[in-house]
Chain A
């Protein structure tokens, strides 16, 4: 592409059927407590 550079591929819509296992850490946007915001969490599906 001449005018556009993709820096992240389509990553959200992969393996939709496997989503939702619930093993990830609880997140808290205000993080009054310890937690991640959703944006910086890791998927912990094993």
Chain B
């Protein structure tokens, strides 16, 4: 399987199974268009290619055949024999702790209602937090690196418990031979000196929520009294990043139908001096009036492509920044075993509610059919967990036939559930956006590689 496409005047081809990426001139691109998906040449199509002379066409054919012979184009799938090994039930290695089912903001697109996940407002107790750590250690098998994310609602509303959990996990590290990596996601409203210092001392990464331009942010990220949050969170976010030495953080925003020109929000954040930026399409927002629709796709595609160009320009001209969804590692990235499975929700990654209930991920918390047990009594054998285990790009027909499968890894199960009521059927709009992002990321990589070769 290959994916050949044009972007910003260049022709790029990805060989899906090997990960090889090639730049083609127009001749080679058009000649490649005469090949069938199995790597055989269609002589009728080739005959119709009259705009090039025979000599040039033969040169292009020679190049293409060289790549095929050297397993860099139309390579076959070598992974199927390993699938039984790679799809065994895995251990639990990451927990998302819902430190608070409460929030001091009322963001319109929140998948958790107003922070309480459609349940009642509650805070996680330290007892539950510690038990969650015990559960993680006990269910992690031989995995050394374990991840604990502090999430919510807004975790800073219950920060003493966060600290207690971190202390406890660190205490247990030595005797359990585990290495904990903590991260925290916050709206920054309560990010005072003390909390910032603690986070910088103890957390591997921090995600700071900010949607971009003030008018965009404040249209959706409102306080309880209806006023915007930008003016409060921006200075605190800046301090956070500065005090962290600009390392291991993301300023992360959400874009919706209301700001399809989200590139401007990305650049706004870059202009503010942030260099680790993520702006992502809203998740699980069906019927909200904010989700990205089919009719919005062309606009969003153009926006990603426009942003990619600006991105390359800035990175070449002293205004370097990192945009999360344009990051791609072609050489040292994860193996196919990981790429085919994706986020690990429901299998290696679980979410814990303030009461200690287990769910496949933060998006599923509170959804009864996805209740997987609790940290006191353990996993309850809910067969849905088996469905998560079985779900990967090979077992989903739409994914199996998709060129982006090893870069996307199958999309967000929560989106699939909300829009298709089936975690095995990916959310199409999510697919379209992801494919465009990968196309842009490959183009950007091509620019950087070409630049470095000059």
Q: How far is the CA of A26 from the CA of B441 in the complex (A)?
A: 21
Contact flag A10-B324 (CB < 8 Å), given A20-B337, A22-B93: no
Does B349 touch A at the CB level, under 8 Å? yes
In the complex formed, the residue of A with least CB distance to B15 is: A10
B86 — which chain A residues lie within 8 A by C-beta?
A: 19-20
A42 proximity list for chain B (CB < 8 A): 329, 332-334
B63-A38 in contact (CB<8A): no
> What are 12 A-B pairs with beta-carbon distances under 8 A?
A1-B62, A3-B28, A3-B31, A7-B450, A12-B17, A12-B335, A12-B339, A13-B17, A23-B144, A31-B280, A35-B343, A38-B333
Residues of A at the B interface (CB closer than 8 Å) are: 1-13, 15-20, 22-45
Please tell me if the beta carbons of A40 and B328 are within 8 angstroms of each other in the complex: yes
Binding site of A, secondary structure by majority: helix, strand, loop or mixed? loop
Whether the pair A26, B147 counts as a contact (CB closer than 8 A) is: yes
Give me the interface of B with A, judged by CB distance under 8 Å: 15, 17-25, 27-28, 31, 59-60, 62-64, 66-67, 71-72, 75, 78-79, 82, 85-86, 90-91, 93-94, 96, 111, 143-145, 147, 149, 151, 181, 183-185, 205-207, 250, 252, 278, 280, 283, 324-325, 327-339, 342-345, 348-349, 361-363, 406-409, 411-412, 414-415, 430, 434, 438, 441, 445-446, 449-450
Set of chain B residues within 8 Å of A35, measured between Cβ atoms: 149, 183, 343
- On whether the beta carbons of A33 and B59 are closer than 8 Å, the reply is no
Residues in chain B near residue A17, CB distance under 8 A: 82
Q: Taking A6-B21, A27-B343 as contacts, is the C-beta distance between A41 and B184 under 8 angstroms?
A: no
| Inter-chain contact A39/B15, CB cutoff 8 Å | no
Q: Verify A29–B408 contact, CB threshold 8 A.
A: yes
